[in-house]
Structure 1
Amino acid sequence: MFLDVLDLRNFYAQSLGRITAHYIYQRIRQHWPNVNGLSILGVGYALPYIRSMRTGAERTLVFMPARQGAVYWPSDGASLTSLVDPDRLPLPDSCMDRIILVHMLELVDSPADHLREIWRVLTPGGRLLIVVPNRRGVWARMEHTPFAYGRPFSKGQLTHLLRDTMFTPVRWSEALHFGPFKGKSWFGPARWWEKIGARLWPAFSGVLIVEATKLLRQGLPSKEANLMQSSFRPVFLPVPNLPNSAAKMPMRNPFFDWQGDDHWIDED
């Protein structure tokens, strides 16, 4: 179940949403301090975290699920956002250097299928950054935040999922150690709660952030197989005469017919 793009935009327009984006973005910049000259893709609702990366990056794109809807961004030029099917991204193989998933992996029907598609478009040696709700955290239980929807993850679950889809986790971090309270009186000391929580209760953070790299598996030739092959000589046989009316296998039509309630709204 995907959240509506209006709900996500309204959350990040509020005071709680702005503070949330601030502390998550701090952790993201620790993982990726320099993105100059790189191609970056944000999938889900990554606008609050990818906006400032646009200036130094070679190319910046934002893909949003068709069942969620999309906003027009940036407002001062051609749109860099697109509605997509999460399991069929409209990109060629190995074309993006950095990919960030926010409000995405916990909401898709099949996280493994989506990560395999992310693996396809990520360059060899490229980096994937995933932000997901922490199963142990309070934020996964407070429905006035978007992190309370979908399936939250633990570190163990996310590690198994990444390894099953040929990714290797290389670095972990946490964010949102303060409570998701609406009162403005909590926003001032949120900085102190974030520092104290990172030291005293990191396992109960609101979100988990994991950086992973694309794993390439290569088969090694067997020495036994090489020795056996060298002891035989090739024998050329005549090609049999096949009837001209041999049946041909039907080809699958690659056309993909998307049916869904796609909708767009303008981002102010």
Structure 2
Amino acid sequence: MRLDVLALQSFYAGSLGQTAATMAGRRMVDAWGDCAGLDVMGLGYATPYLNAWLPTARRVIALMPATQGVERWPSGGPNLACIGDEDRMPFQEALFDRILCVHALEEAENPRILLREIWRLLAPEGRLMIMVANRSGVWARAEANPFGHGMPYSRSQVARLLTEAMFQPVAWSRALYGPPLPWSMTTGGAAETWESLGERAWPALGGVILVEAVKRLYADTLPKGGRRVLLAQPARARF
């Protein structure tokens, strides 16, 4: 069962949630820029991160799973949030240039079906970014934050799911190196120190994994259990 939208609202209204949105959100902007002229969708509970593209993208839409619940977003102006089923989203094929997936994969009833539905909605060569709880990170072990719910993932597990769904991972990063505690020494400006130290001292232990992947239209047949998978090219290390 997905975490309720009210619990997610409460988390991101607090200092720890605001810190998470800032630290992880800047990596998303580093990867995608201002998305000027592009159609962007956020899936799961992505609204704290989608705000960055509201002024510049051609269209920004937040889709929240029915099992989670939906909130009105943004707080000012026309509502851009809607609700839908994970396996049958209410949009036509190839509509979005970018899809951001936050608090979605960990609690998906069927992650493979979810990724195939995302593939359907992405334009050719469109880009997907997933932020998922890191199995090796401390945030996945703390139930007081949303990243401690559902199934956390390792990098190899995410890569395998993406490849099977005809996505090619092209860039990886991690964020949230500080402990998931709403203290002054771990949030706000202090979080910058944790991020800088964590990237140098324990780069594999960030609380979340971020991966950017490209939609591919064709799969190449490889001798791997009789399944069709993509021929992956070397992915750049980070963004």
- With normalisation by structure 1, the TM-score equals 0.80
Deviation at 1:107, TM superposition (A): 0.6
- Matched with 2:231 is none
- Matched with 1:202 is 203
The residue correspondences of 1:161-200 to structure 2 (distance < 5 A) are 161-187=161-187, 188-200=189-201
**CA deviation vs aligned residue, 1:245-264 (integer Å, no higher than 9, x gap):** xxxxxxxxxxxxxxxxxxxx
Residues 166 and 99 (structure 1 numbering): CA distance in 2 closer, same or farther, change over 3 Å?
same
Amino acid at match of 2:196: K
Deviation at 1:14, TM superposition (A): 0.5
- Matched with 1:262 is none
Q: Distance in 1 between matches of 2:25 and 2:82?
A: 22
Identity within the alignment, %:
46
Residues 117 and 182 (structure 1 numbering): CA distance in 2 closer, same or farther, change over 3 Å?
same
The gaps in structure 1 that reach 5 residues or longer are 220-268
**CA deviation vs aligned residue, 1:86-134 (integer Å, no higher than 9, x gap):** 1101111111000000000111110000000000010001100000000
Q: Distance in 2 between matches of 1:88 and 1:152?
A: 24
The worse-fitting range, judged by mean Cα deviation, of 79-88 and 175-184 is 175-184
> Runs ≥4 in structure 1, deviation > 4 angstroms?
none
Q: 1:108 is paired with a residue of what secondary structure?
A: coil
Deviation at 1:218, TM superposition (A): 6.9
- Matched with 1:54 is 54
The higher radius of gyration belongs to 1
Name the Cα RMSD after superposition. Answer: 1.2
The worse-fitting range, judged by mean Cα deviation, of 107-116 and 187-196 is 187-196
- With normalisation by structure 2, the TM-score equals 0.89
Q: Distance in 1 between matches of 2:216 and 2:162?
A: 10
Q: 1:11 is paired with a residue of what secondary structure?
A: helix
- How many residue pairs end up in the alignment? 219
- Matched with 1:249 is none
**CA deviation vs aligned residue, 1:191-241 (integer Å, no higher than 9, x gap):** 11110101111111100000000011178xxxxxxxxxxxxxxxxxxxxxx
Amino acid at match of 1:33: G
Deviation at 1:30, TM superposition (A): 1.2
User: CA contact under 8 A between 2:44 and 2:63: conserved in structure 1?
Assistant: yes
- Matched with 2:123 is 123
The gaps in structure 2 that reach 5 residues or longer are 221-239
Q: Distance in 1 between matches of 2:95 and 2:191?
A: 39
